[in-house]
Chain A
Amino acid sequence: MKILVAVKRVMDANAPVHIRPDGLEVETQGARMGINPFDEVALEEAVRLKERGIASEIVAVALGDDATQDVLRHALALGADRALLVNTQTSLQPLGVAKLLQAVVMREGPELVLIGKQAIDDDAGQEGQMLAALLGWPQATFVSSLQIEGQELQAVREIEGGTETLVMRLPAVVTADLRLNDPRFIKLPNLMQARKKPIETLTADELGVDYTSRLVVERLSEPPVRAAGRRVANVAELVECLQAEGRRLEIRELL
């Protein structure tokens, strides 16, 4: 079975977020960039499926400018067999990405697409579902445990208040929760080898789909800062404050 894993290049989760002077985009120049952590989990799961003899080939795909090659090198070092860059300078939105990925899936013919449940930059969490819709495939989102036997996939999903288990036939799209696995540490020799491997590149326009943005971002802003409150000295004072707030907010337990 062939698996396609889509990976996104994002800013490091701990890097400070600055808005460009135009107020429309985030400044990524000089920021530490890397693979979206959720996509790394998706890739690790693909590698494990290959190690168990369930998958035969793993293709990592990323969309973006030339700098995006670094996350594909990371994917190759982690265990992807091939890397594919869909080259574009345009900033993409989830629907456009889904259409481009759909075109890649048509070319590559995987039976399973694995992808992170969300990216830590836009936090949209739409990609897998949109791709599944366009392909007409079933989807398992927010997956924390995955099993594949023959043509049947069983996934445990994280939902409000617990989990649920879905069973579906391949081909399917699975989006990974961080709980699915802990990605392995990449060894230096693997990293060196990955540098030598080719990255296949095609342009977004070659895929022949309309990936224009539907949402016009008018302004980025920082949320209002919460003013730091007051330091209380002891439990008695804290409970007094809680009681006062409780009265104001009409909370029965604190009246």
Chain B
Amino acid sequence: MSVLILAEHDGLALKPATRRVVGAAGFWQQPVELLVIGPAVVANEAACLAGVQRVLHVDSDAMPVAEDLAPLLVDLMHERKVLLAAHSSLARDVLPRVAALLDVAMIGDVVRITGPASYVCPLYAGRLLASMTSRDAIQVLTVRAPLFAPVGESQAVPVFALPALASGGASRRVAVNRQVSERPQLASARIVVSGGRALGEKFDAVLAPLAETLGAAVGATRAAVDAGFAANELQVGQTGVVVAPAIYLAVGLSGAAQHLAGMSDSEVIVAINQDLEAPIFKVADYGLVGDLFEVVPAVTRAIQQLQERQA
């Protein structure tokens, strides 16, 4: 029995979530293999993660489409027992396909592993938790990576080269449009500054300086995204990105259940809102009622002054 992890990277380095997935894999106390589809530099980085026994490497310039990636994973799983990945857009696309081809259930967005085939998963936008056990011989699952401790470094383990993937030609990627940002990635940032529709056209003008000062990622509610104040990829919540940073700063957002589903595992929640009655105050560790357009710049200045004093 062994655990296979689908590693994720940005073409240069592993994503922080992968270290956390390796941490989650420790539960089984079985050999852990990391599958890296990408350049050698990422495979070499993966080989140095503590808790990894072997890296399987497919040299590739790009992540294959689900139709081409799934057969490889299916092949590998015939000799392994657990397939694990972060609950990312890549894994959510390909792992259900793999599970169906293996004729096993997929367990998605696991927040706790309680036994070799037992898990806790959120339902109803996180308003319920289900404790369940799989009856299948092969486990295919994604985990909510921010909830698992990352592994550190260790001595490099062997990297085993796999043949290049053939394209079945069923589907091909013709364009990728990613926003290039200097800010940390939303899914793995230690601080997230998130805004709601109340910020209006000033969404960026108000939040960007605070995010910059804190080295934070920017998030948004669905309402703010739908109104066109923030980009799609910033959406935090049930249907967007799920985050669990050390500090989540919620600015001008009411705290709808669908939004809370994406951030309620944050360690510290700070809410700034004009509306005293906003539900976000019910989950916030610190709450300030005030005019966003005055309070946020004032907070930004105060932190900048602290930083200047330190420097």
- A contact residues vs B (CB 8 Å cutoff): 11, 13-14, 17, 19, 26, 93-95, 98, 117-118, 120-127, 129-134, 137-142, 144, 154, 157-169, 172, 177-179, 213-223, 226, 228-239, 241-243, 245-246, 249, 251-255
Q: Given that A161-B233, A168-B170 are known contacts, is A230 also in contact with B286, CB under 8 Å in the complex?
A: yes
Check if A231 sits within 8 Å of B173, measured CB to CB: no
Cβ–Cβ < 8 Å partners of A122 in chain B: 123
Q: Give the docked Cα–Cα distance between A158 and B231 (Å).
A: 11
Inter-subunit contact A238/B303 (CB<8 Å): no
A214 and B104 within 8 A (CB) = yes
Residue of B174, B186, B233, B286 near A229 (CB, 8 A) is B286
Q: Can you pick out 26 interface pairs between chain A and chain B where the beta carbons lie within 8 Å of each other?
A: A13-B257, A19-B128, A26-B128, A98-B100, A125-B92, A129-B66, A129-B95, A130-B99, A158-B89, A160-B90, A163-B176, A164-B177, A166-B171, A168-B172, A215-B105, A215-B107, A217-B131, A220-B123, A226-B282, A233-B288, A238-B270, A242-B270, A249-B246, A249-B267, A251-B191, A253-B215
Contact A168 B171 (CB under 8 A): yes
Report A227 CB to chain B, min CB distance, Å: 8
Q: Which 6 A-B pairs have the closest CB atoms?
A: A229-B285, A129-B96, A126-B96, A162-B178, A130-B100, A214-B105
CB of B188 to closest CB in A, whole Å: 10
- Residue in A242, A243, A252 whose CB lies within 8 Å of B215: A252
CB–CB B176/A255 < 8 A: no
A177 CB, min distance to chain B CBs, angstroms: 8
Would A125 and B100 count as touching, CB distance under 8 A? Answer: no
Q: Is A130 a contact partner of B215 (Cβ separation < 8 A)?
A: no
Are A133 and B130 within 8 A (Cβ)?
Answer: no
Given the complex of chains A and B, what is the CA–CA distance between A201 and B127 in angstroms?
A: 34
Q: Quick check: is B75 within 8 A (CB to CB) of the other chain?
A: no
Q: A136 CA to B213 CA in the complex, in Å?
A: 50
Write the chain A residue with the least CB distance to B301.
Answer: A235
Flag if B239 contacts A118 (CB, 8 Å).
yes
Given contacts A19-B128, A230-B285, contact A144 B96 (CB under 8 A): no
* CB atoms of A139 and B97 under 8 A apart: yes
Query: When the two chains form their complex, are residues A215 and B258 in contact, meaning their CB atoms are under 8 A apart?
Result: no
- 15 other A-B residue contacts (CB within 8 Å) besides A129-B97, A160-B186, A239-B303: A26-B123, A26-B124, A121-B124, A126-B99, A130-B97, A165-B175, A214-B135, A221-B129, A223-B126, A223-B129, A230-B287, A234-B290, A238-B299, A253-B191, A253-B215
Closest-by-CB residue of B relative to A233 is B288
B283 lies within 8 A of chain A by Cβ: yes
Looking at chain B's contact residues, the main secondary structure is mixed
B238 (CB) vs chain A CBs: closest residue: A123
The reply to whether B131 and A221 contact each other, CB–CB distance below 8 Å, is yes
Of the candidates A17, A138, A238, A242, the one whose C-beta lies within 8 Å of that of B67 is A138
Q: Contacts A94-B106, A118-B239, A138-B67: A161 and B179 contacting too (C-beta < 8 A)?
A: yes
Using Cβ atoms and an 8 Å threshold, which residues of chain A touch B131? 217-221
A215 and B270 contacting across the interface, CB-CB below 8 Å: no
Is there an interface contact between B299 and A120, defined as CB atoms closer than 8 Å?
A: no
B153 is an interface residue with CB less than 8 A from chain A = no
> Does B268 belong to the interface (CB within 8 Å)?
yes
Which residue on A lies nearest to B212, using beta carbons?
Answer: A253
Docked complex: B129-144 residues within 8 A CB-CB of A:
129-136
Is B99 a contact partner of A220 (Cβ separation < 8 A)? no
